[in-house]
Chain A
Amino acid sequence: MATIQNKVVEPVTDELALVQAAKRGDDSAFEELVRRYDRNVFRIAQHITQNREDAEDVVQEAFLKAYGNLAQFQEQSKFYTWLVRIAVNEALMKLRRRRPERMVSLDEEIKTEDDSLPREIADWSPNPEQQYTQSELREILSKTIQGLPPGFRTVFVLRDVEGLSTEETASALDLSVPAVKSRLLRARLQLRERLGRYFQRRDVGNGKPNGDEKSGDGNQ
């Protein structure tokens, strides 16, 4: 089975040159950095906040903060990773403001390892996404990822959607590499299980309905 290839944000060939020019006060260089990464920051922000207006605010605040603190940026790390770190913090702050009743942090949701063991093992249709229109599919994906705890979906989005390496994800989130790997596994497995309700093979013909919501009986 082939492994997953990364959608990396490379090449970063002249990123450092842009950052250095921006540090010297060249605003067009900074604008180029905005142009380069605004889509990524917006996607990350909306994944975390699950709110369009908040995501717009996060994009503005993250870039403004990056601009204001550019002098502090250490050039041994990638600008993009540094920017993501700022954006994630801004997004989490938004989320906390909206859900003050529930403390939101990347350190919560530490449970036992067992809760990530797959309970639903049903196979999917060959091209499950083609059963739905683009907008239906987006709705499904959006609803499904919303159900994940913020700490899980943040790791999933940075690593799997944005293509940051495990080390970059760890650095952007101030987590250890093992912590990123453990959350990533659980995030992937939870998403897989939830998507299964929509994508399960439906031609089994054993008379059993698919999508039985009671998936709580561990069978491992």
Chain B
Amino acid sequence: MKCSEFLHELTNYLEGALDESTKVELENHLSWCHNCYVVCDTTKKTIEIYRDSQLYELPDDLRTRLRSAIMVKCQQHKKRGPQST
């Protein structure tokens, strides 16, 4: 497997969606190609860091305010009848 082929399979690999023989080939490539190993490892970390980051969490007070506003508008919509939204 060449580096470009590794890159092509990276997404499927991280998703665990590779067939066994491609996975073995890819892991064999990673065992000797340091650059690809680093790319794979840091890409995985990138995903994990974003996933665990709690970036843009909705604060509770804003959440309550938004939900009330949504439900009020839904009521108004219901009273007006099903026009375009």
Contacts and interface: CB of A to CB of B under 8 A. Distances in A.
A44 B74 CA distance: 22
Interface string A160-171: 110100100000
B24 interface: no
Contact of A4 (B39, B44, B54): B44
Interface residues of B, number: 48
Contacts of B45: 124, 128, 192, 199
Contacts, number: 142
Contact of A196 (B42, B50, B66, B84): B42
A220 B3 CA distance: 9
B54 to A, nearest CB: 8
27 contacts: A3-B13, A4-B48, A7-B51, A25-B78, A38-B58, A39-B58, A42-B58, A43-B58, A56-B62, A60-B73, A63-B74, A67-B74, A67-B85, A68-B82, A68-B85, A71-B82, A122-B38, A141-B53, A141-B55, A156-B50, A163-B51, A185-B11, A189-B39, A189-B43, A192-B39, A192-B42, A192-B45
6 nearest A-B residue pairs (beta carbon): A68-B85, A3-B16, A46-B56, A42-B58, A192-B46, A121-B35
Given A160-B47, A161-B50, 9 more contacts: A27-B74, A34-B70, A118-B7, A128-B49, A137-B53, A138-B53, A138-B54, A188-B11, A192-B39
Interface of A: 1, 3-4, 7, 25, 27, 30-31, 34-35, 38-39, 42-43, 46-47, 55-56, 59-60, 63-65, 67-69, 71, 116-118, 121-124, 128-129, 137-138, 141-142, 145, 156, 160-161, 163, 166, 181, 184-185, 188-189, 191-192, 195-196, 199, 220
